[in-house]
Structure formats: structure tokens, C-alpha cells
Chain A
């Protein structure tokens, strides 16, 4: 079950993403060559890019519930029929906003949301409150809005689950909420697409973009970050982008998520809103023998804002065909534009932080026409093409990554591998650790045939001399603090200049407090979550040593609030 199943709600509105961009340039990590103008606005490596004073916050803005689809497959977008329509999707109102965080300056294509609270609100009443499991975006598509520039032309999707849910639905009198609670009260699946992000710091909409999404049921044993279904690959990747679909046997329909699949005009409308045809291909060996299943309606004013780009196609008597053959989407002229990737494998979690000698577990799910694909071999490749700005050189030394070359899926189509890291030995000099990418596909396929967003990203940290970790001096932590002061001017100028020993010492208590928080806490420092276990311990040990000295108090913390 997922956000594509019923009972499902859709929402749309705006979001704000306010990342700091001085660190968009890996060379800015070099304290030796850092220049004051790197903290200033302006394009290019000589300045701090488009938002040097970002707070790191990510939040929902003015997001309303637009439609619901009930267990029986019927839908409404009328608040008279279901009072949930028009309720608001919001983030926290009792703690700071969630944070958007790049994995690394050299891997900015899997930015994650940390510490995000998702609430469904009706006026002052909090109907649902939940924690968003940390998730990275994927399927970033730079060709989404081809007439626009920068990241404004891009779209991406975030998929995760909502946990620790508290419900207060008794007085809502909402059929939808009652159904959702009865089906999936412990966890919910959430997915959203973001686009039309404003990067111009003179615009009133600066740091704000458009969002549509969907929330539906989710069960414990299912993947968290993607939906096993009927993956649809565009024939022409320059003008279309990956889509997904599920076969909903209960409702005898195919449900397609096309939200991030088509190009848009600068005003957000589809460039081509012609209706499409869903078909299956009975042909063998790259030939087409098509049987039409039904129509995909795009020519509908609320296709995006109300339906969130999700289409349902009833199957009538064609369920068997759909179970047996791969899906194809045809344009108005009958030309195939999407084809199902018949056999498909996808890693669930795909972004990991590793300290030396730590391992991560990667769960991969293989399917054929949406059904588990057992006994299939998957290959893994540690690749060395960069996936972000350089220098420094990424993916070296390869010896720091220990991963199996292959794995076999079990009877549920699942394969689990462990990737173990060792100390990369500071190959990047001024940036801690190293980033790596691991590609995967079936052993009888090609890595290049994958969805190119589907690879595993790893950030492996350096280790620090244990003696220094245990008994650090200011000189030991100064370079780390200097780097944060350089890269996050809003923090260093607005609150604490971490490069200044007296500031750090005088605020030791509050700094220890935030550096010791759980990484999932939105107040955790550093907001960039790029501090290794050793360096974190070293900083906390330093702060403890300051606090242990007599007469040292946080004399100025409250003066800085």
C-alpha cells in the first residue's frame, strides 16, 4: 500500500526551501583559500551563489487538501461532502522548521529533509501530527520547465513515510479520515513533487516553489522510499521523465503517478496537455503489438493542483492483460512515449553516512510486472564518474568501500546487502571524508539502462587520532569551527562566530546542547549534518573540558537569543 492506493488524499500549495549556498562550491571548504566575498550573493565560484544567507529551513506554505479518494475508489474535492477538503498540511508549530540538507558539496542531487513534522490542521485544531522519516529527493529533472533557468527549471520527488502519528479525528466527521485511520493508523505513505522553485533573491517568492503531493496507507513490511509497481520509462528522456504506476486489483484499475513526467510552461501548465492512451504491449523482442486499456486524461484544469498528477484508468475486463504484459503509454498520435521497465530493481534507502568501520544495510526490491522477482542476480559497481562539482576528486580510494559484487533476490524478490566503510584517509584534504556512488542493476542488464537517479550515495567520514578525540585543544577543533564560520555566514554573523574561541567557550553549554542532539532533531548542529562521529566527539569533549573549568558559565547565551 502506498500514496497511490486508497484511501488517498492529495494536497497542493507552496513550499519554502532555504538552503545556504556558500557550500555549493567544494573549494569553499578550503579555509586556506577562503575569501570574504564567498559569503556574498552572486553567481559563480567567486561568490556565495544564490543564497549565502540561507537558514536551511524547509517548510510547507499554504498547502491545502484538494481531494480524497475513498476505499471504494470514489473521489471528491467538495468540502460539503468531506470536511477534510480545505484542511491545511503544515509543518511544526511548536519547534523549528525541518531542514533541507545536501549529502555533500559534491553530491547535491539527493538533498534530504531532516526533522520535518507533518500536520493536518483544521483552523486551530490539529487533526494529524506525525514525523516525516528523513528522506532524500530523487528523480531530479532539470528539463521540467525548459523555458526557465537555474534550478527553477527543475523538479524532483520526495517519498517517505509518516510515523509517530497522533490522530484527533473523532469530531471531524470525515469519512476519509475514518477510513484512513481504520486502514493505516500506524504509518502513512507520503510523496510530493516540487517544481518552479524561485532562486531570484529580489523576487518576493524567493526560496518558494510549488508542491503537489499525496498521502495514503503504508504498512511496516513495505519499502519506505519508493513504491513497488509498474515503473514507466520515457522513450525520450529529454522531454519526459520517469513515472510509476500500480495495479490496484481491489478497485480493478491502474493508478499512475505522472506528476514529475511532463514539461511545463513558466506558469506551471503542461506544455502539451493532450490526452494519452494507456495500453499493454503483447509484442516480443522490441516489436509492438498494442492493446488499448483506456484513456489518460491530462486535459483537465485541475489535473495537477487537485489530482496531484495522479490518474486512474479503469480496467473493466482487461485485468489479465495488464497482469500479463508490460504497460505502454501512447501519445495522441498513437506513438509510444513511455514503456514499462518489465524487470525492475530499486534500492529502498539510497543515501548513507558512514564512519570508518561502520556498515549500512541496503534493501533492494526486484519485481517483474509488479510481482516479486525471485532468484534474480543483482550486480553492484562502485563508479568513479563525478556526480557533482569537482575538484577535489571523488570516489577515491575505492579501497575504503567494501561491497559485494552481486546479490541474489529471495522468494519475495528482496536482496539485502551490507556496505562496509573503512577510513578513506582524508583524500579530499579540506573536505572531510569522501563521497562514493554505487550503481546497480540485474546482472543480465546494463547499468546504463537504469533510471539514472537510481544509485546509492555514500558519504564516508575520515577518522581522527583517538588521543585528539579524547583530549582536544582549541587548535584541534579550530579548523572545523572555522569552516562552519566560513560556510554559514548567517550563523556566524547572526548568532555565534564559531571561529572565535571566546565565543565558543562562553557558549559552551548551549553549543554542547545542540551538538549533542539527535541528528533527526531539527535543532541539531551542524545543520548540514556533515560532522563525523570522531569530530563530533572531539567537539563535545572540548566543550566538556571548558565546562569543567571552574567559573565558566554560559554568560552570554541569553544575550544572543
Chain B
């Protein structure tokens, strides 16, 4: 389970700061999930890939909800800063130092079990004992609960003075009905819509105490919460309602088989700087990272008043996938047996390293 540092939200500024952490947290799981998923492309693992992809899609939704919430309370989501991207391997944003280390790795069952399920683990997973809590820490569910409580108290305080904390410009609210039904991504304009948004994030991630399936009002089609979707992959079977099982559920559905053979042997946690500048891996890594940085900039504009930019962001997401494919088909320089891979770094093309500059200077011009 992920443990976040305990937060105290007393002012509207505290609230905005907590929501910024939420935005960073929702984003932070996307690179490791995407990396694992990229390694499944054309490997005969479409079913697993679709499960991971469906989680990624919902993390993108959660990111969007958190940004809508930030705009609703008059804050400014920030996604275009180098510090926005966590270090991999490393802790997730807001996490405690003794917590889980999240890497960028190829897909494997241990990665699902030890990392992805751990990220998404609910406070009281059904049929799984609660873990001992770490002092001064809170779960993701508790973190969002704190935000909810703060919204309620700050708003009722504001109401007393005939004011509201929902001072944001409603035109900054993103909806994207073509891809996310309005019941999932809706304008956040008041306390009710804010609470609905947060509930949706928590339920899709963790499910409820009694039912691993997400409330059907909160999904496109009935699906287990993230934790249980990953457990399906790990158990190799679909999750079913099962009256004969003590919890009422069992992994007794259709088999989900993992075919390992074709998965590229990506070296874990690649870094652009580790590739020799005169290698193809470096070129592809730079283009991947540049495209990823463009995507963050595009999303920053999307959530700061230019909602139409979401269309450009969509194009960049596909482009990112193409460069990931190129990296994963490129041998890792000087590491026989390994392939290169995506590193999700902030690259604007302006910060060329000294070695890179000297290489470019060697090219005749």
C-alpha cells in the first residue's frame, strides 16, 4: 500500500496545494503503467494490455478531475514544470520516504504484484489483511478524504460570509464527451460536484470495502477497481461474483494467460543521459522525452483555460506510443541482451548537455 505524508488542510491555499499533490500523484502512476504496457505491444498479450490500458485511461480521467477541482477552487494546475515528473525509480509524489519504490520496467508478474497492486491497494482489501500503518502517514483514500473534509469545512465557512470557495472560471472546466461520458468527466462548480469527482477517483482506484467492482454509475462498463484488475492479471483469471466463495467473489473466470516470450527485455529505469549521445537509442529517447514534455505542456494549456488543447494532447499521446515502440526495438547500447526503453524525462530541446552540444558541433555545417 502507498502511504502518503500526513497533510493538514486549513486554508484555501492548503487545499490548492493538496490538490496539486493529487494531480501529481494521479500523473505519477501513468509512466510506470504505460511503460509496462508499451512492452506488451504485439506480443500476443492484448488482454493484459487492455486491462492495464483501462487503468491508465482512468488515471488520465482522475488527473483531469483533479485539475477540474483545482480550477473550481480558483487554483492553477501546474503540469509544465520539470519537477512535475517524479524520479523513477522513486517514491510517488507526497509519499513517505520509507514507502514503495516505483520503477519503469517491462511488464512482469512480479511488477504487477509488488508494485502496481501495491500502488492501488485499498485500505481494507477484501480477503487481504490490512497492513500495519506507518506513523504520520495516510493512505491515498485517506488523503482524498482529507481533501473532501477540507472542501466541506472551507465551503461552509465561506458560506457563512455569503461567499464560496468555488470561485474558479467555469470555462476552464474540461469535459470530453467523445471519450469520457459526462457522468465521469463533468464540470466541477460546487461542493456536490467536487465530492462526486473525488468519490469517483477513490472508487475507481480502490473499489469499496465490500465490492471489488466499481459502482456501475462510475464506469463505462462493469469493471473491478484497479487493484483487482491488476490482481486478475496476477492470478491469471477474471474476477467473478461467486456466491460459494466466502467473500462473494473469486478469481474463477476465463483464463488470462501471459505470454512472456515476445516481451522485449527492456533494461529497467533507463535514463537518456545513460545512452551514448552518438547512439540511435539516444535519438529516440530524446524524441520520446521531447514528445512527452510537449504532452505535459499541452495538458498544462488544456487545464489553464485552453480546453481545446486536449485535441492536440491526444495526438501527442499516440505519438508517444510510436516513439516508445522505436525505443523498445532498439538494443540498449553496450548492454548485450537488453533493449532501450522510455524514460519520461523533461526535455525541451533547449537543455542540450555539453557532450550533446559537442557532438552536434562535430556535424559539418
User: Which residues from chain A sit less than 8 Å from chain B, CB to CB?
Assistant: 12-14, 16, 53, 55, 57, 61-62, 88, 90, 92-97, 121, 123-124, 196, 201-206, 208, 210, 212, 267-269, 304-305, 490, 493-495, 509-510, 513-514, 522-523, 553-561
Contacts and interface: CB of A to CB of B under 8 A. Distances in A.
Contacts of A208: 283
Given A55-B319, A95-B316, A96-B312, A555 B282 contact: no
Contacts of B360: 13-14, 62
A555 B221 contact: yes
A556 B46 CA distance: 11
A509 B315 contact: no
B contacts with A: majority SS: helix
Contacts of B316: 95-96
B298 A559 contact: no
A513 B34 CA distance: 23
A229 B146 CA distance: 71
B315 A94 contact: no
Given A267-B364, A509-B179, A560 B321 contact: yes
A290 to B, nearest CB: 34
Nearest to B320: A561
A555 B46 CA distance: 14
Contacts of B322: 55, 490, 494-495
A268 B349 contact: no
Contact of A554 (B56, B179, B312): B179
A517 B49 CA distance: 28
A522 B294 contact: no
Interface in B33-71: 34, 41-42, 49-50, 52-54, 56-57, 60
Interface in B261-298: 277-280, 282-283, 287, 291, 293-294, 297-298
Contact of B321 (A16, A97, A561): A561
Nearest to A13: B365
Given A96-B316, A304-B365, A558-B53, A204 B280 contact: yes
B365 A212 contact: yes
B147 to A, nearest CB: 25
A61 B283 CA distance: 11
Interface string B322-343: 1101100100000000000000
29 contacts: A53-B325, A55-B319, A61-B349, A62-B352, A93-B294, A94-B298, A94-B301, A94-B312, A96-B294, A96-B318, A97-B319, A121-B350, A204-B277, A204-B283, A205-B363, A206-B280, A210-B364, A212-B365, A268-B364, A304-B365, A513-B178, A522-B315, A558-B179, A559-B52, A560-B53, A561-B317, A561-B318, A561-B320, A561-B321
Nearest to A195: B364
B315 A95 contact: yes
B363 A559 contact: no
Contact of B325 (A95, A494, A554): A494
B53 A556 contact: yes
B245 interface: no
A12 B365 contact: yes
A554 B221 CA distance: 11
B7 to A, nearest CB: 30
A558 B314 CA distance: 10
B297 A94 contact: yes
A14 B178 CA distance: 39
B348 interface: yes
A13 B293 CA distance: 22
Contacts of A559: 49-50, 52-54, 56-57
Q: Which 6 A-B pairs have the closest CB atoms?
A: A559-B53, A268-B364, A558-B57, A95-B312, A523-B315, A305-B365
A392 B287 CA distance: 37
Contacts of A13: 360, 365
B220 interface: yes
Nearest to B362: A267
B250 interface: no
Nearest to B55: A559
Nearest to B282: A204
A513 B313 CA distance: 13
A92 B301 CA distance: 14
Nearest to B300: A94
B167 interface: no
Contacts of A57: 319
Given A94-B301, A509-B179, A559-B56, A204 B279 contact: yes
Contacts of B309: 94
